[in-house]
Structure 1
Amino acid sequence: MWITNNLINSIKNMKTRFLIVIILFLLQVSCAKFVEIEVPDYKIISKTVFSSDETAERAVLGIYNELAKADFSNGDFSSVTTLSELSADNFNTTTLNYSMIEFEQNNISPNNSYNLNLWSSAYKIIYMCNAVLEGLEFSEGISSESRTKFSGEAKFVRAFAYFYLVNLYGEVPIVLTTDYRKNAVLHKSSIEDVYGFIINDLNDASTVLGNNYIAGERIRASRFTAMALLARVYLFLEDWEMAEVLSNELIESSENYTLLKNLDEVFLANSKEAIWQISPAGRGPLSFITNEARIFILNSPPPNSQKPVALSDDFLNSFNEEDRRLVQWIGNYNTGNQVFHYPYKYKVNSSSVIEEYSMVLRLAEQYLIRAEARAYQDRLSAAITDLNKIRERAQLPSISSSTSSISRESVLDSIQIERRRELFTEWGHRWLDLKRTGMALSPWISLNSNIDNSDLLYPIPDQEIIKNPNLIQNEGY
């Protein structure tokens, strides 16, 4: 499948039909992996596609729409949310879906199709971001203000995709161009270099993006969106001071964000707790519900191939009975012989209007980031104050910060418990937390008993290694 020169020439002078070019162009990406694609000279296409502020903005909107469809980000079977929860201890499979079972057993084969979808769809998003950045660079008809803003949005999304690639796969190639010849032979970059690249992109984005959302829709990147991800990055890099500085600014921005008292309102579209969301509308004009609601809410007894997962007993046992999250964010289906529990953060499983957006970044995480950063700086009372914000919202008793015998370790343990309860089934938080804290290999964690260091990274898909002789498989595969 290729875009013909005739098609390109027929569209060159029709600015308003730019979207046809970009959609067809991206369809070619979806029909083959990003490293295989030889596209026409983007400098030529960009003169038409990026001929005005309006057409350039449509290209940027195309990236956000793709996030709603891409396997790694769409909340469906091959998404970070589903697969990483299986790798951790929050989900169990309820069907004989062997691709999922491999994630649950931490025994993923390099030819696992879901793993390939995860990898290739993340790189497809990166490819699109690079295409937009190149188009903005070569364009002559875009205002300076729009060029700067759109570049910031593309860099944020690119950093977001790389954050998950480096955390799931370790060393990965840094793709900076749409040139298939260069992309096809890239070596892996070190984890340190990938994180450096992510930080540079996020710093650039936070510098040029404004604080406000367009039309009140929290589905495009803002300065605060970039800062929220950057706070997480610094937490993962154990730069406690920077993590606290960034999370603090978000928390102090009370005119933009607040912890909602009613848990049933948190995941609504444009909720005041949301820092960034993905709209299901990006999947198409008739998409009204999130994929998380579609595949998580059990309305028929397992096994059901369309409802492949349920919450684990180990996860359920982590809750206190009085915890409101146990009641409002967890549903159950009774078959008569067995009770299955499922995530019920997203509640709308059928609708003719969009009521919920997929949550990606929210304020509760920032409180937990700041709590952990403060605890590691031995400011335990301040850390407990942040932790209690989350506990009190869940109607749990506050932890006393006046006890002189309280230790850093006990505070950090409490933070990890609340992270698990608060952020379950949201973008793989539990799996990434288990890995970064060293808990994944602990005998006290209910993972596959045979897990070892090599299982902490997913394998590079076989198909990618076959195509690129310079890609080296992760250890143990």
Structure 2
Amino acid sequence: MKTKLPISILTILILSFLLISCEDFVEVDSPNNKLIRDEVFGSDETAISAMQGIYNELFVADFSGGYTRSVTFLSGLSADNIQNITTTNPERMAFEENELFPDNQNNLALWSSAYNIIYMANSYIEGIENAENLSPDLISQLNGEAKFIRAFTYFYLVNLYEEVPLILSTNYQNNELAPRVSASEIYKQIIDDLEIARESLTVEYRNADRTQVNKFAATALLARVYLYLKDWEKAEELSSQVIAEESLYELPDDLDEVFLANSREAIWQISPLGNGSIVTHTNEGNLFIIDPFFSFFAIAKLPESLLTDFRPEDKRLLNWIDYNASRDAYFPYKYKIRNSSELPILENSMVLRLAEQFLIRSEARTELNDLPGAKEDLDQIRTRAGLDPISEIFPELSKAQLLKEIAQERRRELFSEWGHRWLDLKRTERASTVLGNSNPTWEDTDVLYPIPAQERMKNPNLSQNPGY
């Protein structure tokens, strides 16, 4: 009879296996590591628990957690969608002013926390691919989930820093001196991982919970990747596959339903349970909502330029933006809960959602000269927001004008989510035009963040981005 491990011992084993520091690349003796790996992948229960540990880490990790050192916040500051309320934090102001230096600790947190997630994913992939006691279907599913997370993380690294080290194993001797590789090589790996994920993952969400990825999460992210690579046919094809899955996804008419846990619009979310059962609110809600009684703690607000982008009747202005009189500040109100420790969880952090897929397809169709189809997709977003269809008010819109409308709609729809505005300005080569007009110190090289100085001290093979 096989004895089950106590939960406390199981947790220690999983953490020992997955949370070896990727910053120091500490060598682990092979026999001990093999014993840990045998336990972690010795049963369905422990293998699934280890995968859940990676999902949980995404809520805690700086780059993905949605708090002050996240892509959402820092890249929002770098663009024109979020502002600091005060100027007393120079490291955060550096992002808003596009005056980053290589020793910025927030930038280091972005980089190192992303690579920690990659290291965990690599460790898991190595373990699951050599598992002997698991069913082939479970191995395929969990391998697909881990490769999705690795691809997802590299997507942000390549878009924030461009050339970065491509780390695909836990071999510390190779990793500690790994040089940067081209963006095209990083994108190739992202596509390879996502294609494997698409083949391996099921349509259904494991445990019916959208905080675990499925086939369409991989498809949605791949559609975005091809949009960034200007492969319009692939972007249209893949976004269409997600949009067509009406049994799973729809655009709720009520905007207050969009960011609820397991909402019908959600393709993938991150659960607050990653921080344990102490808190059940999202980090984004805690960061952005200005408490009416403790407003002096507030650190972020929405800029005037974003607010004036909305028409007065736009439901997103009414439902997703609120105002604090004591700070004279408008703030994102997509998440309605600032603090909570109660179950059940009402809101998860949104990562991928259906509205973005309509916007991806609209842009791809425009580039493919299918302007009627592009307008139809754009109007899905506009009419939900209570706006007149673009096909009615501007029936003769040119291709260039329609692309401009799509860009503005992306700003209005996706503000305060995962740095979309920053990445959009960069990929469409509009960053210098848009941000340079309001920032006298702007330089074209500011579109890339610097490689952290601390990482270059540890790894002399890391070159620096231009301008730093």
Q: Could you tell me the TM-score, scaled by structure 2's length?
A: 0.95
Cα deviations by residue, 1:73-97 (Å, 9 ceiling, x for unpaired) = 0100000000000000011111311
Aligned pair in 2 of structure 1 residues 282, 47: CA closer, same or farther (>3 Å)? same
Query: How far 1:189 moved relative to its partner?
Result: 1.0
Q: Does 1:324 align with 2:315?
A: yes
Residue 115 (structure 2) aligns with: 123
Residue 345 (structure 1) aligns with: 334
For the Cα contact (< 8 Å) 2:18–2:124, is it kept in 1? no
Greater shift, 38-47 or 350-359, is seen at 38-47
Matched letter for residue 168 of structure 1 = L
Aligned pair in 2 of structure 1 residues 261, 128: CA closer, same or farther (>3 Å)? same
User: Which of 395, 404, 407 lines up with 2:386 in the alignment?
Assistant: 395
Aligned pair in 2 of structure 1 residues 384, 50: CA closer, same or farther (>3 Å)? same
For the Cα contact (< 8 Å) 2:79–2:435, is it kept in 1? no
Residue 434 (structure 1) aligns with: 425
How far apart are the structure 1 equivalents of 2:437 and 2:321? Answer: 20
Q: 1:220-369 to 2 correspondence within 5 Å?
A: 220-300=212-292, 304=296, 306-335=297-326, 339-351=328-340, 352-353=342-343, 354-369=345-360
What is the aligned length? 460
Q: 1:133-282 to 2 correspondence within 5 Å?
A: 133-282=125-274
How far apart are the structure 1 equivalents of 2:295 and 2:65? Answer: 23
User: Which of 23, 29, 38 lines up with 1:40 in the alignment?
Assistant: 29
How far apart are the structure 1 equivalents of 2:298 and 2:433? Answer: 30
Matched letter for residue 413 of structure 1 = K
SS in 2 for 1:470: coil
Q: 1:63-142 to 2 correspondence within 5 Å?
A: 63-95=54-86, 96-142=88-134
Q: 1:1-16 to 2 correspondence within 5 Å?
A: 14=5
Q: Does 1:373 align with 2:359?
A: no
Query: How far 1:19 moved relative to its partner?
Result: 2.3
SS in 2 for 1:142: coil
Residue 416 (structure 1) aligns with: 407
SS in 2 for 1:36: coil
Aligned pair in 2 of structure 1 residues 310, 258: CA closer, same or farther (>3 Å)? same
For the Cα contact (< 8 Å) 2:235–2:360, is it kept in 1? yes
Q: 1:12-27 to 2 correspondence within 5 Å?
A: 14=5, 17-26=9-18
Query: How far 1:450 moved relative to its partner?
Result: 2.3
Unaligned runs of 5+ in 1: 1-11
Query: How far 1:138 moved relative to its partner?
Result: 2.6
Greater shift, 439-448 or 42-51, is seen at 439-448
How far apart are the structure 1 equivalents of 2:176 and 2:435? Answer: 43
For the Cα contact (< 8 Å) 1:156–1:201, is it kept in 2? yes
Aligned pair in 2 of structure 1 residues 240, 175: CA closer, same or farther (>3 Å)? same
Greater shift, 209-218 or 17-26, is seen at 17-26
How far apart are the structure 1 equivalents of 2:252 and 2:395? Answer: 32
Residue 6 (structure 1) aligns with: none
Query: How far 1:469 moved relative to its partner?
Result: 1.1
How far apart are the structure 1 equivalents of 2:185 and 2:351? Answer: 24
Cα deviations by residue, 1:44-86 (Å, 9 ceiling, x for unpaired) = 4312221112111111111100001000001000000000000
Query: How far 1:446 moved relative to its partner?
Result: 5.5
How far apart are the structure 1 equivalents of 2:95 and 2:394? Answer: 42
Aligned pair in 2 of structure 1 residues 443, 273: CA closer, same or farther (>3 Å)? closer
Aligned pair in 2 of structure 1 residues 191, 447: CA closer, same or farther (>3 Å)? farther
Query: How far 1:388 moved relative to its partner?
Result: 0.5
Aligned pair in 2 of structure 1 residues 446, 344: CA closer, same or farther (>3 Å)? farther
Query: How far 1:453 moved relative to its partner?
Result: 2.2
How far apart are the structure 2 equivalents of 1:405 and 1:152? Answer: 45
Aligned pair in 2 of structure 1 residues 398, 445: CA closer, same or farther (>3 Å)? farther
Aligned pair in 2 of structure 1 residues 246, 462: CA closer, same or farther (>3 Å)? same
How far apart are the structure 1 equivalents of 2:438 and 2:246? Answer: 39
For the Cα contact (< 8 Å) 1:14–1:48, is it kept in 2? no
For the Cα contact (< 8 Å) 2:104–2:452, is it kept in 1? yes
RMSD between aligned alpha carbons? 1.9
SS in 2 for 1:175: coil
Unaligned runs of 5+ in 2: none
For the Cα contact (< 8 Å) 1:50–1:139, is it kept in 2? yes
Q: Could you tell me the TM-score, scaled by structure 1's length?
A: 0.93
For the Cα contact (< 8 Å) 2:232–2:365, is it kept in 1? yes
How far apart are the structure 1 equivalents of 2:280 and 2:422? Answer: 29
Matched letter for residue 162 of structure 1 = Y
How far apart are the structure 2 equivalents of 1:334 and 1:13? Answer: 57
How far apart are the structure 2 equivalents of 1:211 and 1:83? Answer: 33
How far apart are the structure 1 equivalents of 2:24 and 2:465? Answer: 19
Aligned pair in 2 of structure 1 residues 163, 93: CA closer, same or farther (>3 Å)? same
SS in 2 for 1:359: strand
For the Cα contact (< 8 Å) 2:17–2:37, is it kept in 1? no
